[in-house]
Chain A
Amino acid sequence: MERHAKSYETSDDMSNFSVGFRTETHIRILDLNGELDAHTASELEAALQKCRQDEMYRIVANGRHLKYISSAGLGVFMAYIEEMREAGGDIKIAGLQASVFNIFDLLGFPLLFDIVEDEQEAIRKFDANPDENTA
């Protein structure tokens, strides 16, 4: 499997949130780090915009290192999910910590988003169902 390990961090000193980019064949993996709240939501937004610009609509948000998410952070996922699905892709959320999953769960995200155990499972699901739009 060819690996494009072009990864660069977008973060500033003020926040303790960052997004790392990885590309796994035609799947874009976003490594979410730290706390995603109203102040840092714009970074996730910029990352998703970049995916759109690069025409990468299959996205795995890896939340292994995501410590916290506020409603503003959840709103970013909400804002892009439809568009990605319309373009034939999806945003799958993987590897969430229990406390963060609880926040997703409280709002009912599992109903709308494909939330999976880990990154590999998300990739498998994308590969198994190349034309699948929703979970």
Chain B
Amino acid sequence: MLRIKDALSPGNLPVSSHFANRILRSGQGYIDVALRNRKHRLAFVAAALVCFALAAAYNVFEWLSGAPWHPAVDFAYQMVVVTGFALFWFLMAYFLKQRPVGPLKAFWTTLVLGALAIAVIRMLVGITGGAPEDVPVNQALLGFEYETGVPLTFATVVKMHAISFARALVAFYLLLRFQDLVLFKRTKQSQRTWYLMLASMGVFSLLAILKDPAEDPNAVQFAAVIPVVILMILNSFRVSWIVFLSFRAKAAGVGLSVLLMLLLAGALPAEGFLPAHFMYIRHASYPLDQFTLVALAFGLLYCVTSFLFLIFHLPTTGDFRRKAGEVTAMYSLTNLVNQAFDPDKLHLAITKTPVETGGAQMAWLAIEDERSGSLRPQVAAPWNTTAEDVEAMTDVAALYEELATRREPVILNEAPADHRIRGNPGSRIGSMLMTPLVTRDTLLGGLFVTKDIAQGFDEDDIEAIGVYAAQAAIALDNARLFEEKLERERLSRELDIARDMQNRLLPRDLPEIEGLALAASSIPAYEVGGDYYDFLKLDEDRLAFIVADVSGKGISAAFYMAELQGIFRATARIAPGPADFLAQANVAISSALERGMFVSAIYGVIDARAGTLILARAGHCPAIHISREGAERDVRPRGVALGMDRSTRFRKHLEEERISLRPGDTVAVYTDGIVESRNSEGALYGHKRLVEALKTHRKQDASAIYEALLANLHEYIGRTEYDDDMTLVVMQWNGMPNHTKPATT
């Protein structure tokens, strides 16, 4: 017995403590698992009934024979009774576990059961059976032979078992119900303490086995009760279920715990209203008496601590409820973070919570929205008010500015005294708390909450809103990142389409005209620009060309390129000259261009037979004309870009330039992507460098010149990714074929 006790007390040999842990943690677990099986349950019930039957039979025979049994049989009897009640305990544990109840119900069911048991026990104790006149008074009262403890009447046998059962029922029920309360916040530690208490109670009560019922506890028992008391005290302070009760439930809990306390205090002591009933239990089973005694004593202790904690927690119930509300709100917001990517929805969710949890009367956000292009913070998601009212009641910009500079919660305790809060008769702002929404060092906006009374926000509120705002900021940030990602994906899809479109719009093959050598291409930048070039053979000798640059990028630029192509292909043949072509193009494309967009273009017609070039320019980079001898000239007739001026003024300001070419002359037309390319230091390539390169390579043929120019450019910028499209067209006239041929032959 002592060895088991050692094994069960903490801080012993590793092996024994391991063993103890096994028992403590899984002993009950194995039985629980076993009891889930219906057959096992029935076997348990049958075994318990057999135990009780055997015990009753033992006492009945004792009564009939009038002599005590042999000590060995007595020991076996004790073991059978203990086993029976142990089985009863596990069965009860199983059934109560299937029907969990709340704290208050645990109290009042225990109370009712206790009251019933007291009534039954009181009634049973009162019955005196047999022939009372034959026996001494004190023995008649109890019905046991003083010397041997043998029951004197059959009624005594019934009484001892019925009373034992009644008290065991109440004690077990109480322990098992209170177990759920003690282990309300189950931790390894709390569970360990609880099961250790049960085990120590068991050990303590088993020490009483084979003891004479008349004997009082000896020194060993007193020693064994010390750990029981310590563990009981430890467990009685586990009352965390209390804080989650509402005010009414707590008040009811106070009443119930007092009643149960009185009931237990009245029933337990020998002088209480159940005098000497424990003697029957001791005769039936001394260990059971001891176990139920400590179990009920624990119940009494737990009622006292519950009562005290309930009383202390009554006044703070409201605060706790509010805190719990805030926690719930925070949780719901955290959930929202993962779902809401619609900024408007999210804004509303953010301002709604402080008002709904009672933390504020009004709430709104001030958001500096880059997309609106405005530098002023905008009032968003007003809750319990309107954006107009907020603008009327407060100086939104000034308040936001303070928040932006301080970047910490700002409290206006006497809001009407602040110059930024306007003393409007309908104003309901008594105090205001503004909290910045900051993530990753970026201010996303401010959360403004108000109350109609002055000094409405205490430290707790400021802290709670602060934590809440941090969550909200993360949510906002997430939504923004998500939106940006969508935007990026959209842009990248758009770019793919635009690139594809641009590729198809540019000519695949260059036309062939005798006497004229051509080289041209457009190098698209990563972000598709709007460079366009094209050629059209007007007749055997004449070639029309266009080089254009649509301001803007992406799909809209590609769209205008397509438009330009249509205009070029349709109009080039019928336009009398370059200026007329550009004037018509201006009219055609102006109607389609959106505000702030324009197209620079250069259009020319080369006559390979006559050796002439007529050229008009609409806001485009000038063409470069280089002779074989190296004389260079910018061809820059006057002209405004397409789409900038929709009136007839466009045509009036447009000039044409006519150039007589000489054999070996080169004309280069380009877009600003070429001259505005930058090297790693950010310096522009520039018009001058282009002209110099042209001069250097002027004696080569068109495609060689073209290659040399690009090579020169690449060498300068030192990389192969470009910010803008680059288009370069090189045209070289090699003389009039029909005139030169006869001269050479």
Contact = CB atoms under 8 A, between A and B. Distances in A.
A70 B530 CA distance: 13
A46 B374 contact: yes
Contacts of A70: 672, 676, 724
Nearest to A43: B373
11 contacts: A38-B527, A42-B373, A68-B684, A72-B551, A75-B552, A78-B597, A80-B596, A106-B622, A109-B640, A111-B645, A112-B644
B639 A108 contact: yes
A38 B553 contact: yes
Interface string B385-409: 0000000000000000000000000
Nearest to A8: B375
A33 B645 CA distance: 28
Contacts of A68: 684
B373 A45 contact: yes
B209 to A, nearest CB: 84
Interface in A78-114: 78-80, 82, 106-109, 111-112
A79 B644 CA distance: 10
Nearest to B671: A71
Contacts, number: 73
Contacts of B376: 53
Interface in B29-83: none
Interface in B488-529: 527
Contacts of A10: 375
A75 B551 CA distance: 7
A109 B374 CA distance: 27
A68 B551 CA distance: 16
Interface in B469-499: none
B653 interface: yes
B188 interface: no
A50 interface: yes
A116 interface: no
A76 B596 contact: yes
- Shortest Cβ-Cβ A-B pairs, 6 listed: A79-B596, A108-B640, A107-B619, A71-B551, A75-B596, A107-B641
A28 B643 CA distance: 27
B551 A106 contact: no
Interface in B650-681: 653, 672, 676
B649 interface: yes
Contacts of B622: 106
Nearest to B549: A71
A109 B653 CA distance: 12
B535 interface: no
Interface in B338-377: 373-376
* Residue in A38, A45, A82 whose Cβ sees the most chain B Cβ within 10 Å: A38
Interface string B303-337: 00000000000000000000000000000000000
B595 interface: yes
B621 interface: yes
A71 B598 contact: yes
Interface string B550-562: 0111000000000
Given A107-B640, A108-B639, A112-B644, A78 B596 contact: yes
A107 B622 CA distance: 10
Contacts of B653: 108, 111
A45 B619 CA distance: 22
A46 B375 contact: yes
B600 interface: yes
A78 B374 contact: no
Given A53-B374, A72-B551, 13 more contacts: A38-B553, A46-B375, A49-B374, A53-B376, A71-B551, A71-B598, A74-B598, A106-B620, A106-B636, A108-B641, A111-B640, A111-B649, A112-B645
A74 B595 CA distance: 12
* Residue in A10, A53, A70, A78 whose Cβ sees the most chain B Cβ within 10 Å: A78
A75 B373 contact: no
B373 A72 contact: no
A50 B375 contact: yes
A45 B373 CA distance: 8
A41 to B, nearest CB: 9
Nearest to B599: A71
Interface in B624-644: 636, 638-641, 644
B364 to A, nearest CB: 21
Contacts of A82: 595
A72 B595 CA distance: 12
Given A78-B595, A106-B621, A111-B649, A46 B373 contact: yes
A108 B619 contact: yes
Contacts of B552: 71-72, 75
* Residue in A42, A71, A76, A112 whose Cβ sees the most chain B Cβ within 10 Å: A71
Nearest to B594: A79
A114 to B, nearest CB: 14
Contacts of B374: 46, 49-50, 53
